[in-house]
Amino acid sequence: MSRLSLTADGSHTLLSQQFGVDYHSAHGAIQESRHVFLKHGLMPLLESGQTVIEILEMGFGTGLNALTVRQLAENWPGVQFNFTTFELFPVTEEDIAGINYPELMGVPLDWLTELHAAEWEVSVAITSNFSLRKIRQDFLKVMPRPYPLHSFDVIFYDAFAPRSQPEFWTQEAMRICLAALQPGGVFVTYCAKGQFKRDLRDAGFKVEALPGPPGKREMTRGRVV
């Protein structure tokens, strides 16, 4: 039986059997990806004229965020997008067979399947300006970190919500993120819980509450000052 279901914008989400929750917001998976991670994470960097952007994602999952960045990269040929993503429990081809992201986004199906087929642990040039490095390790535990410290411009923090994976929303987890980012770097997430925002601040970020995607009042951005 398929574990795919529709969210409010017509895009699919996938049920995680392991965690008993969906991978995306019921209010719209594609909508949330574009609003939280592109609009409030990537766009300000592009608009500032940056020409190489190092992105770190926590939770590759269905590959939706990577696909939205790959699509965006087509419109910014002068910018190099390097996308590094952690995933400890990869989905199978069967899990996402029939997922409607390529169709709804108006891109070839191959664009998504290539991301899933890409070799793990190494950087793969998917297009002339979009590279993907998938890391199959525990984001919270792997030491030494499999990337240079203070090397990322933006973190897409797309872990399961605090009630499913509370360990991802602690001050300790935020310190791992802080150490990954360059000065001026940006952390974005859909989560807007009060305790989480306090932990983000106490870890050393300047915290902003921003309007959330349709259906959600707020999202959170943290800046390294």
Binding site for ligand SAM (CB under 6 A): 23, 59, 61-62, 64-65, 86-89, 138-140, 158-160
Shortest Å distance, C-beta 78 to ligand SAM: 26
Q: Quote the tokens at residue 21.
A: 């929750």
Rank residues 23 and 130 by Cβ distance to ligand SAM and give the closer one. Answer: 23
Rank residues 53 and 159 by Cβ distance to ligand SAM and give the closer one. Answer: 159
Shortest Å distance, C-beta 28 to ligand SAM: 13
Shortest Å distance, C-beta 58 to ligand SAM: 7
Rank residues 43 and 206 by Cβ distance to ligand SAM and give the closer one. Answer: 43
Rank residues 96 and 200 by Cβ distance to ligand SAM and give the closer one. Answer: 96
Q: Quote the tokens at residue 9.
A: 């914008």
Shortest Å distance, C-beta 32 to ligand SAM: 9
Shortest Å distance, C-beta 49 to ligand SAM: 27
Shortest Å distance, C-beta 54 to ligand SAM: 17
- Of all residues in this chain, which one has the CB nearest to ligand SAM in the complex? 61
The 3-class secondary structure across 13-58, one letter per residue, is EEEECCCCEECCCCCCHHHHHHHHHHHHHHHHHHHCCCCEEEEEEE
Rank residues 33 and 129 by Cβ distance to ligand SAM and give the closer one. Answer: 33
Residue 13 φ/ψ, nearest 5 degrees = -130, 170
Rank residues 83 and 86 by Cβ distance to ligand SAM and give the closer one. Answer: 86
